[in-house]
Structure 1
Amino acid sequence: MKAEAFAPAKINLTLHVTGRRADGYHLLDSLVVFADVGDRLQFTPGNDLSIAVTGEHADGVPTDNRNLAWKAAQAAGWTGHIDLNKVLPHGGGIGGGSSDAAATLRMAAKQGRTVSPDVALSLGADIPVCVAAQAMRMRGIGDDLTPASMPSLPALLVNPCVEVPTGRVFAALESRDNLPMPAEIPEFETVEPCADWLRNQRNDLEPPTTGLAPEVARVLDELDGTKAALMARMSGSGSTCFALYPTMKDAHFAAYEIGAAHPNWWCRATQLN
């Protein structure tokens, strides 16, 4: 029987790099939410594993065992054909491939296959939080997850269609031992106090990324300049950035404004939860 799954964009509202283990893995403290925009997958059981990729960002996405959805299916012992409609820009800091893999693991679990958390982590640091697909505080190497209570956050996602390799970003990071977020994350009733609190937090990967890709700095400037923007920040290691707004109407207006000025950029007004 065919199955369908949604793989939402993962947004790092904060990303504090708090240390580095002896094995080279970086320690993080990140507040993660998910968008209502994402990739879509369809699974058709069969004897062999295969994948086809379509959609606006299909170019460059592997259709063999390099694909994270393929790796996830293989790890879960599922075989068949995967149709992946690629809506999210890959290499954009919003967990496109990780969310695809997580959606595959959720599908396999629903079909009765045992998928341990260790399997998800072995595939990538972002995959456990993407399996949860809900607001989380993510610490350690992505293995320490605590649910977070968040209001709906009207937002605009913008990607200048520039890929920044994560390895280069971490290599350019000046400090790997930075302060974490406060011990307790407040419970916010609306977007405005949430944005106020977020302004005092960080994405420690933003400075090295904007140094490597000035286009990302330009996106942040454009988002900051939109009417009613409450705050703007980069997600993950880039190159996607986001801004928060009081209402979805404000987010859609900003999407129109930036989209008209930069038709080659990827812009999506969305609700983050």
Structure 2
Amino acid sequence: MTAEAFAPAKINLTLHVTGQRADGYHLLDSLVAFADIGDRLLLTPGADLSLEVTGTCSDGVPTDARNLARRAAEALGWTGHIALDKVLPHGAGLGGGSADAAAVLRALEACGISVPEGLPVSLGADVPVCRLVRAARMQGIGERIAPVGLPALPALLVNPGAHVPTGSVFSALARRDNPGMPAQIPDFEAPPDCADWLKDQRNDLEVPAIGIAPVIDRALADLRRTSEVLIARMSGSGSTCFALYPTMKAAHAAAYEIGAEHPDWWCYATELR
């Protein structure tokens, strides 16, 4: 039977790079939340595996074995047609490919196909947390996931259109043994409390990403100038940046402001959870 799946944008509220294993995998400590915008997938069983990508952000998205959604289906031995409506910018620090793969795993699992332990992280570090689809702390190489309670966080997501290769960003890191987050993440009552705590945390990939794509710095500066902004930071390995606000009204006002100044940027007001 046909299965539908939603792959929401993943936002790294923090991203601490704490080490690197002998096999090259980086160790991370990250607080992750999810937006209400994302890709949509339709899986229709058939004799052969095929993938079609459409949507506003479909340009540059591979349809061959490089596509994580296709690889997820193939890993489970499923055949059929995957129709992917691509809404999230490709290679933008939103976990789009990982979210798509996780959505395929969830959809096929709901159809009775079991997912082997270890498969999600083998597809990518972000796949396990994207499979959970709720705020969580992600550690190790992505295999250690602990759900976290967060208040709904009004936010603005902005992508200035730069494609930043993840490998290049990690290669440009000055150091890989940075401190992690505190052992305990507090219980936050409201967005300002969360934003105040986040100010003492980091995204260790922000500086190297800006070195590769300086327009990220412009996006952050513009977000920090918006009214009522609580904090602005880059997500993942870039180039999408986010800002938090006390209310959705303030987030929408900021979206109007940024969108008017940069009509060619991808800009979306959302609530992170």
Give runs of aligned pairs for residues 69-108 of structure 1, distance below 5 A: 69-108=69-108
Aligned to 2:8: 8
Counterparts of 2:235 and 2:94, CA distance in 1: 6
What amino acid is the match of 2:256?
Y
SS at match of 2:167: helix
What amino acid is the match of 1:121?
V
Aligned to 1:121: 121
What amino acid is the match of 1:83?
A
What amino acid is the match of 2:139?
R
Aligned to 1:143: 143
Aligned to 1:257: 257
1:64 positional shift: 2.1
SS at match of 1:204: coil
Higher mean Cα deviation, 57-66 or 205-214? 57-66
RMSD: 0.7
Counterparts of 2:5 and 2:114, CA distance in 1: 18
Aligned to 2:174: 174
Task: State, as a whole percentage, how many aligned pairs show the same letter.
Answer: 67
Counterparts of 2:170 and 2:2, CA distance in 1: 40
Aligned to 1:266: 266
Counterparts of 1:133 and 1:242, CA distance in 2: 18
Residue by residue over 1:169-196, the C-alpha shift from the partner in whole angstroms, topping out at 9 and shown as x without a partner, is 1111001111100000001121110000
Counterparts of 1:211 and 1:24, CA distance in 2: 22
Question: Given the superposition, is the C-alpha separation of residues 135 and 40 from structure 1 closer, same or farther in structure 2, using an over 3 Å criterion?
Answer: same
Counterparts of 1:15 and 1:117, CA distance in 2: 25
SS at match of 1:117: coil
Aligned to 1:161: 161
SS at match of 2:118: helix
Higher mean Cα deviation, 113-122 or 178-187? 113-122
1:47 positional shift: 1.1
Q: With structure 1 as the length reference, what TM-score do the two structures score? A: 0.99
Give ranges in structure 1 of 5+ residues lacking alignment: none
1:102 positional shift: 0.3
1:77 positional shift: 1.6
1:225 positional shift: 0.4
Counterparts of 2:79 and 2:155, CA distance in 1: 37
Counterparts of 2:162 and 2:227, CA distance in 1: 25
Counterparts of 1:163 and 1:117, CA distance in 2: 32
Aligned to 1:36: 36
Residue by residue over 1:185-240, the C-alpha shift from the partner in whole angstroms, topping out at 9 and shown as x without a partner, is 00112111000000110000001111111100000000000001100000000000
Kept in 2: contact 1:150–1:188 (CA 8 A): yes
Counterparts of 2:78 and 2:224, CA distance in 1: 45
Kept in 2: contact 1:117–1:128 (CA 8 A): no
SS at match of 2:227: coil
Counterparts of 1:268 and 1:237, CA distance in 2: 19
What amino acid is the match of 2:52?
A
1:32 positional shift: 0.4
Counterparts of 1:39 and 1:210, CA distance in 2: 26
Aligned to 1:238: 238
Residue by residue over 1:35-71, the C-alpha shift from the partner in whole angstroms, topping out at 9 and shown as x without a partner, is 0000001111111111111111111111222211100
SS at match of 1:203: coil
Kept in 2: contact 1:216–1:239 (CA 8 A): yes
Give ranges in structure 2 of 5+ residues lacking alignment: none
Residue by residue over 1:132-163, the C-alpha shift from the partner in whole angstroms, topping out at 9 and shown as x without a partner, is 11111000000111111111000000001101
Aligned to 1:183: 183
What amino acid is the match of 1:241?
C
Counterparts of 2:186 and 2:46, CA distance in 1: 47
Kept in 2: contact 1:157–1:241 (CA 8 A): yes
Aligned to 1:226: 226
